[in-house]
Amino acid sequence: MRKIEQIPAITFLSKSRQIYKDPLPFHRENFGKYGNTFKISPKPGLMIHFTCDEKITQHILQKNQKNFNKSSLQTDDLGKYIGHGLLTENGEKWRANRKLIQPAFYKKSLVSLMGTMDEVIQEEFNKLKTDQAIDVYDVFNDLAFKVVARSLFDLGDIDDLEGKISRLQFITEKAQKMLIKELRIPWMKWYFDREWLSGENSIPHSLDLLKEARDILRNIINNRRSSDREPSDLLDMLLHSTYEDGTHMEDDQLIDEILVLFIAGHETTANALSFAAQLLAQNPETIVKASKEIGRLDKEDLMSGLMAMPYIKQCVDETLRMYPPAYVTDRVALEADSCEDIEIKKDSIWLISFYEMHRRKDLWEEPEAFNPDRFAPGKAKEYRDFYFPFGAGPRMCVGNNFAVFEMVLVIARMLERFEITPVHEDIDYHPLITLRPRNADLVFKKKSGAMGESRI
């Protein structure tokens, strides 16, 4: 069996400050030095294998996925902050809840959401500031959060919805920053765990905020139960669906699932849209091509219009290749295993870097270049073995179709109404739990004769 090179602990510790701020250069440096797989021991008794090998990835996520669970970094550490829902659960509990939630994301179910989604997009673009540099992440973060709130959970009639959404966004932001500190500098957990030492930057304070978020969601659930309305949304479906034994999802579990869908369902989309807008602005020839398709949108049949815009979909696919929001994932082996000449020991942890796999020069031609044509019809199948923007296997993101349709619609409406120009030459990122853009500044200028508020 092939020996996997191990990075000396002193090397890892000497770069801990850099890794805390941005682990991706550390990943790239060591993949370049040791090949597509290496390992480190950040503390005694813990060994983590890093890989961007497509065959190992397929083995772990698809071919022998039953032998691999998400590690405690996701189920316990991440679950502590965002709840124990689809993203953070393993085993039978995950399978049962996935079965309940999956139908809400079938294409036939999404058709009914397109009108609401389009209304939110248009409303947010009506408020967009033009002729000045703005950080588009703020725009798309608000937009994506409201799309989830109003299309998946139909919260349009909730009192002070704007205030509740803003508070949920604030809380999830604070919780994510706290989680990053726990994961990347675990030797400082003793400090963050003491509120009297670190105040608002403490773990107890973050957990208090999360209790507030759960109370907001609990009130939303109670409001729906007492309402005469029965919209055909995800919340209504979850309230009425039953497991195989005839029981309903308990409220605490329902809150966990809603919290995960709110966070994962909006943040990854906001990230991808922010990167996409910057990439388009920096490559004006792609805007010319994409703009030829925007006239195909039909307000009465949005889904058909979206399906008739393949180039904009290619722009989305290429953005997700270069800047996958879920840029890493991990698994732990339940039993001893092997993949070709790699030994996989029982209980070993494997961290998969989609970011690096999507930029390997031996897999992609000019991987650092934004080239939507690589995903032209008929070509995408060439990359299916090493392109995983939404993960792979049974645990592929349940909302991948929802996210893609939303992104295509947002880009189409954006190009329909605005000219966009970049402010910076380079695109910067901030790798938190997801890969977030940093300083995503663009200038929007209204197109003459563009249809705006009249579409609402």
Helices (H), 245-399: 251-282, 284-291, 302-307, 310-322, 354-357
- What single string gives the DSSP state of each residue in 182-208? HHH-GGGHHHHT-HHHHGGGSHHHHHH
- Min mean pLDDT across 17-26, 79-88, 118-127 is at 79-88
Most confident of 112-116, 194-198, 224-228, 330-334: 330-334
| 245: helix, strand or coil | coil
Q: Is the dihedral of CA 230, 232, 238, 240 positive or negative?
A: positive
Distance CA 358, CA 354 (A): 6
- What single string gives the DSSP state of each residue in 120-151? HHHHHHHT---SSEEEHHHHHHHHHHHHIIII
252-277, pLDDT tens digit by residue? 988 888 888 887 788 899 999 999 99
142-195, pLDDT tens digit by residue? 899 889 888 888 776 666 667 777 787 788 777 777 777 666 655 566 556 665
- Min mean pLDDT across 125-129, 301-305, 383-387 is at 301-305
pTM of the model: 0.90
β-strands 349-353, 342-344 pairing: unpaired
Type of residue at 20: Y
Among 3.20.20.370, 1.10.240.10, 1.10.630.10, 3.30.1370.100, what is the CATH number of 52-154+231-455? 1.10.630.10
**pLDDT confidence of residue 29:** 95
- Min mean pLDDT across 150-159, 231-240, 417-426 is at 150-159
DSSP 74: I
**pLDDT confidence of residue 156:** 61
* Mean pLDDT (whole number) for 98-123: 90
**pLDDT higher than threshold 70 for residue 137:** yes
* Mean pLDDT (whole number) for 113-134: 94
If one compares 20 and 192, the residue with the highest pLDDT of the two is 20
If one compares 5 and 79, the residue with the highest pLDDT of the two is 5
Alpha-carbon 92 to chain mean position: 24
